[in-house]
Structure 1
Amino acid sequence: MTRSSGTQRSIFGRCDDCGHLALVEGAASGEVYSRAGYYSRRDGGGAGYASYLAEREYREHKGGRLLDRIIAATGRTPASLLEVGSGFGFTRQAAADRRIPSVGVDVNPYAAQSALDLYGFRTFTGTLAQALDEEAIRPGAFDLVLHQFVLEHIPDPIAELSAVARALAPGGFAAAWIPSAEAVELEVFGAAYRSLRHDHLHLFSRRSIARAFRAAGLTLTISETDCSLHLLRGFLDDAELRALYASGRGPDLLALAHKEPS
């Protein structure tokens, strides 16, 4: 599947077995994530945000709803949260509102400074593997490790999830909130599907995220879909949308995996 935007072209390939979509040509440079401008303008291939800080209240609320959903699904409030790609700290603030202590990791120095300025949150600047290797975070210390629309940007998701397994306490959970390769929107909009961007290296199916977790030594326990931007509203009523998401065909996939107790 090919998506073109101006002079930029991105080509995605799909696995016939598991339905996973991978960007095979036209990927954004990895440097895009470390630029301050990533949070103030979107480039021609879809990377970045147009008004990230202006959406602070919305993103705090969205992060809180996600945490509440994870708590309901796992049946417990985590004693500690590690968020990878923590940005300005919006979801970490939602965690603080729920008395959940958190640690953040982000490759963008501007994001780390913004989290400190806005909330007083300190953030490790770099990757999760670097944080572990440099002992900036302690292996086996976290009840919940969250990637919120981050895993799709990472070239090697299995290596990333293996680092997650290192960071998790026995019995802890990994949560990945990711674009779905099974979304009905993909059939409706084709190459114009909003998640086909040049900074999205992977779009996961339920089967492919289960395989990725398993390869990292984690066990998928829950996968469900939803939508944060209802592009099909107007074509489908609320009951039809709920049924669509319940069937696993929504655009946003929440996958929860468990690390077995020692």
Structure 2
Amino acid sequence: MDAARAAAYREDLAAGTDRFLEPRRADCPWCGSDRLTVRVRVPDLLQGKPGRFTLERCGECRHVFQNPRLSLEGLEFYYRDFYDGRGGEGTGVVFGTQGAAYRGRAEMLLPHADPASWLDVGTGHGHFCNAAREVWPRTRFDGLDMGDGVREAERRGWVESGYLGQFPEFASKLAGQYEVVSMYHYLEHTREPLAELDAAAAVLAPGGFLAIELPDPESRMARFIGPLWLPWFQPQHQHLMPAANLREALADRGFTVVAEEHGPAHQGNDFFGAVALAATRLSPDPDRPWGPGPTPRARLLAHAVRVVALPCFAAAVALDTVRSAAARRTDGGNAYRMLARKDVP
């Protein structure tokens, strides 16, 4: 265990976790309705950090959102060591295996555009941009992200220019500069998704395209798997938007939806993710620097859970294979993609 990292976490936790959550709101951030019900309540199943989180669902527009949501301090605490730092290498490996998904996203533009410039918002380490060049070799790809990975993407040459920070902060600086803006599994992480759509509208040139991919909270698997459904992704996911809500929000901002995909956007990890989250819940990593510290008992339990989980993982892979085939055949997956054109005034 990294002693310095563990000491920093102990200092953070000594002040308590109440400051990591804002006060609960009484209305839906999407439509303003007060018809709210609890959709799911879970601990941090991703890293096993302290805390418990609630997603509520609006009875009017069906929007699902974290309530109470993370504060800015909470965002820093729960994102730390996931995409960068201690967890960065593992996350990079996962992103590096998504080549087929990256290609599918890039190919969605083929019937509609031949872009010279493309900004990928929430680009991480730039894996999508690097893969998308096989489809669009003459396109300039830039990336924007809140994490330091965007600097690494720039150093690798996977993006031409990397912007570090919040997307709305760059809206005026980048106004009208891009023919395509993409947000792949990004919008659900943001505190104010409607402000992010406003920023995209500002950054796009007239006639440009906005490409979005999101988890689908209307997915049947969300109901079937319940709290262990991976796309709930607590505490990182702040908002999960039904496709109808996104279509309406885009129309309000002067966009016309030209393509929508559900089955092709499906991510084949429903059952595998559920097993992984259950295993983490039963036996968190004993070496996690925010934990109480490794003990022989904790190491023995972790080993036992890994052994018992192996056949469960194998079964999960088989079930996900069957589920993925069905999702793509029926166009009913756990995620959706939307492509919208910014109308010319």
SS in 1 for 2:231: coil
Match of 1:62 among 90, 98, 101: 101
Pairing partner for 1:194 from 230, 238, 246: 230
Match of 2:302 in 1: none
Structure 2's unaligned 5+ residue stretches are: 1-38, 272-317
* Residue aligning to 2:342: 259
| 1:164 alignment partner, one of 182, 194, 200 | 200
Change (3 A) 1:34 1:202: closer
What residue ranges of structure 1 are gaps of 5+ in the alignment?
Answer: 43-48
Q: Is it true that 1:116 corresponds to 2:202 in the alignment?
A: no
Partner of residue 123, structure 2: 86
More strand by share: 1
Q: Between Structure 1 and Structure 2, how many residues are aligned?
A: 247
**2:319 is the alignment partner of 1:234:** yes
Alignment CA distance shift 1:56-1:17 (3 Å): closer
User: Does the CA contact (< 8 Å) of 1:88 and 1:118 recur in 2?
Assistant: no
User: How high is the sequence identity, in percent, across the aligned residues?
Assistant: 24
Distance of 2:40 and 2:132 partners within structure 1: 39
TM-score normalised over the length of structure 2: 0.64
Are the aligned partners of 2:78 and 2:236 in contact in 1 as well (CA < 8 Å)?
no
In 2, Cα distance between equivalents of 1:231 and 1:240: 13
1:30 aligned to 75, 95, 120, which one?
A: 75
Counterparts of 1:1-262 in structure 2 under 5 Å?
1-5=39-43, 7-25=50-68, 27=70, 29-32=74-77, 35=80, 37-39=82-84, 51-55=90-94, 57-68=96-107, 70-72=108-110, 74-97=111-134, 98-99=136-137, 100-108=139-147, 110-119=148-157, 121=159, 122-133=161-172, 135=173, 137=174, 139-196=175-232, 197-225=234-262, 226-231=265-270, 234=319, 236=322, 240-244=326-330, 246=331, 249-262=332-345
* Equivalence for 2:6: none
Question: Retained in 1: the 8 A contact 2:268–2:323?
Answer: no
The separation in 1 between residues aligned to 2:268 and 2:323, in whole angstroms, is: 14
Q: Report how far residue 250 of structure 1 moved.
A: 1.4
CA apart distance, 1:56: 5.4
Give the conservation status (yes or no) of the 8 Å contact 1:159–1:216.
no
Q: How far 1:189 sits from its partner (Å)? A: 0.7
Further displaced range: 148-157 or 115-124: 115-124
Q: Which amino acid aligns with 1:241?
A: A
Corresponding residue SS for 1:71: coil
Q: TM-score, normalised by structure 1?
A: 0.82
Paired AA for residue 257 in structure 2: L
Higher radius of gyration, 1 or 2 = 2
RMSD after superposition: 2.6
The answer for the alignment partner of 1:45 in structure 2 is none
